[in-house]
Structure 1
Amino acid sequence: MSEITVFIVDDHALVRHGLRAFLQTQKDVTVVGEAENGKQAVHELRARGTTQTLPDVVLMDLVMPELDGVGAISTLHTELPDLKIVALSSFSETERVHAALQAGATGYLLKNSDPEEISAAIRSAQRDQVHLDPAVARVLARSMRTSPATALSAREREVLALVAQGNSNQEIADALFISERTARTHVSHIISKLGLSSRIQAALWAIKQGIVTIS
């Protein structure tokens, strides 16, 4: 089992220490650094990017001084687009969730999540798959507008079903015998056609519309 490296960003030392203590119990996870605000996180991760020592996953608190989590996620997503960032918050309001996902977060966890949920989110992010806290997923699903499924071609519906099952672009490409670039283009077109802002919202839309069911 390959090691997953994690970087923790939170302005509360107790939260950082608690997350580190839990993650140390996971045999395949290693915490490689911490930051106490978004500004410090951007500085540290930018430096790591120049030395090819970026972590696999960043756990990013959203409410912090200096630079908040959404601002940090946006900056890092622009400068280091391959970095996987899971937002970590005490709040599940639609606006806050949308802001984090639109900034570039690949997942969203609540701070009262079970430890297993944290592990699942980290492993999903490392595999380039999305992971939402169940309560957050329900909030997003209720807030999404309904768009006609007929706007999608048969191929796009196939791609969307695979997105909803948590597959990465490369996994979609392998399943449909197309290139990764073509899969990525299909996903972008789907998101645009449905008037959404992320593949996470597209996955939730597919589930809500019955295109795919999640057991």
Structure 2
Amino acid sequence: MNATLLSSEDILVREALSFSRQLLGVSGALFYWVDNRRQEMRVLDTLGVPTGFLEQYSHGMQSLDPMGVRRMLERHESVGVLSMAPTEQSLNDMRHYHGYLHSFGVIDTIDLMFWGGESAYGGIGLLRTLADPPLSMELPALDTFQRFLEASFDRHPHVRQIQRDLRLQHSGLSYRERQAALLIGMGASNQEVADAMGITLATAKTYVVRIFEKLGVESRTALAAYLSQLS
């Protein structure tokens, strides 16, 4: 992400990366949002990450990472240090993964995952190289630091959107119904919902009926008010 193109909200992301990198004394840092449907990370911004590192990670190395997003979600972890992490991979897979890291001069990784209730929404990955000092924080201190960073993102618009989507999901709305509900809440007509979602007008009308029934609202205005309370 180009710093000159950062939105006001994402200045927080860059500041969190810079602060984490400086405090932990590591060379590289990346911020990602969590795609809970695919159980993958979507990298938003990086500082000091070697060229080609993420490309190789997404094209083969991700499945070997003991601290990958999928595995941290399964274990419901907030903090992970590769050198201390449990692993279910074979020795051959781990040699392959460590070989990949070492090819970029990386000797350890630290992951701080951020949670909202039972769902993770993002995190920071940190890369320690041979040129970096030994990690000065033990796990209890890393836990405290993770909670501090997590709290700083509570009001980030993307986090609020994710939390609103989760509340709609818990109300029984399907993924497509949630998409329609958010469009209706922004003032979209049935035809505009149909056009935006690539569905027929009849299907859009069916979604509206189901959304109203599941959320217990009787009008578009009431739906908009309901959604505003979730933000």
Provide the TM-score with structure 1 as the length reference. Answer: 0.28
Structure having the higher Rg: 2
Q: Which one scores higher on RCO, CA 8 angstroms, separation ≥ 6?
A: 2
Provide the TM-score with structure 2 as the length reference. Answer: 0.26
